[in-house]
Amino acid sequence: MDQDRILDKIKKCLEMAKGKGSNPNEAEIALRQAHKMMEAYNLEMGDVLASMAGEAKVAAGSESDPPAWRVRLAHVCAEAFGAHFIISTPWFESASFIFIGCGAVPELAGYAYQVLERQLQKGRRDFLATQKRCKRATKVARGDAFAHGWIDAVSAKVEQFAGVEDSIAEAIQAYMAKKYPNLGQAKMKRRKLKARDEVAGDAGYQAGRSAQLHHAVNHRPLARLTVGGRDER
C-alpha cells in the first residue's frame, strides 16, 4: 500500500474519532486503528498533518528578487485565504511565490494574486504614463508608491477573508517543517516617500478602491475581482 493511501486511511480514522456523530466506543476504536497504522508504517502526527496541506506556485514577475510591492500583494492574498507563502528565487529560473494551505486554498490565493497583480500592473503603467520629464529612478519610486497605495486600498477589503482554524494552521506548519525545514527570513525594503511619492500613493489608493474579493454563497472563499464595473474570474 502506498503512503498516500495509508495517510488517507489514518485521516479518515482520526476524523471518525473526533466526529460529533460517533459514539464513544466507535471513536475509541477509530483512534486505536489510526495509532496502529501510524506505528506499523512508522508515521508521526506531523506526517499526517503535512499530508493535509499542499501548494500552488505563481510567477513573481521578476528574474531575481521581486520588488517589495509584489511581495506585499502576495502577503495580502495569502493572509486573506488563510495561506502561508514563501518566495522562491532559484538562480536558474525566475522568482516565484509559493502559496501553501489546505484544500483549494493555495490555488485560490494564487489566483487572487494573479488577478490583482494584473490589474495593479495596468493601473501602475497608466499612472506612470502621466509622469512626464522624470528620471527613471523617480518614475520607479512613484510607481512603487502608487502600487503600495493601491494595495492599502485592496488589503482593507480582503481582510474579511483573514483567519484560519487551528487545525489548518497546524497542517500548514507541519507541511512547512517537512518540506521547507531550512527556510530563511525575507526582508522587505520599502523606499522612504518624498512629497511627490505621497501624491502617487494617494492616486494608487484611489485606484485600488475599485478592487473587491467576494465570498461565495456557501461562505467558502471565491476570488472575484471587480474592476471598473466588470468582473474578472
Could you please report the per-residue DSSP string of 94-130? Answer: --EEEEEEETTHHHHHHHHHHHHHHHHHHHHHHHHTT
- Pair 104, 33 in one domain: no
Supply the range of the domain harboring residue 91.
Answer: 53-232
- Pair 115, 199 in one domain: yes
* The pLDDT of residue 154: 85
How many domains does the chain divide into?
2
* The pLDDT of residue 147: 92
The band of 1, judged by pLDDT with boundaries at 50, 70 and 90, is: low
- Pair 18, 59 in one domain: no
Residue with cell 467576494: 214
- Pair 125, 23 in one domain: no
- Pair 98, 196 in one domain: yes
Indicate the average pLDDT of the chain.
79
* The pLDDT of residue 179: 82
Q: Is residue 48 included in any domain, yes or no?
A: no
Q: Is residue 82 included in any domain, yes or no?
A: yes
* The pLDDT of residue 162: 44
Enumerate residues 6+ apart whose C-beta is below 8 A from 103: none
- Pair 26, 94 in one domain: no
C-alpha atoms less than 13 angstroms from C-alpha of 130 in its C-beta half-sphere: 12
* The pLDDT of residue 168: 66
* The pLDDT of residue 140: 86
Q: How far apart are CA 37 and CA 22, in angstroms?
A: 20
More confident residue, 39 or 223: 39
- Pair 24, 98 in one domain: no
Q: Is residue 75 included in any domain, yes or no?
A: yes
**Window from 16-25, 168-177, 218-227 with minimum mean pLDDT:** 218-227
The band of 4, judged by pLDDT with boundaries at 50, 70 and 90, is: confident
Average pLDDT over residues 185-212: 66
Q: How far apart are CA 106 and CA 84, in angstroms?
A: 9
- Pair 221, 148 in one domain: yes
- Pair 38, 57 in one domain: no
pLDDT(180) > 80? yes
- Pair 227, 182 in one domain: yes
The band of 96, judged by pLDDT with boundaries at 50, 70 and 90, is: very high
- Pair 9, 83 in one domain: no
pLDDT(215) > 60? no
The band of 55, judged by pLDDT with boundaries at 50, 70 and 90, is: very high
Backbone phi and psi for residue 185, each to the nearest 5 degrees, phi listed first: -100, 125
pLDDT(18) > 70? yes
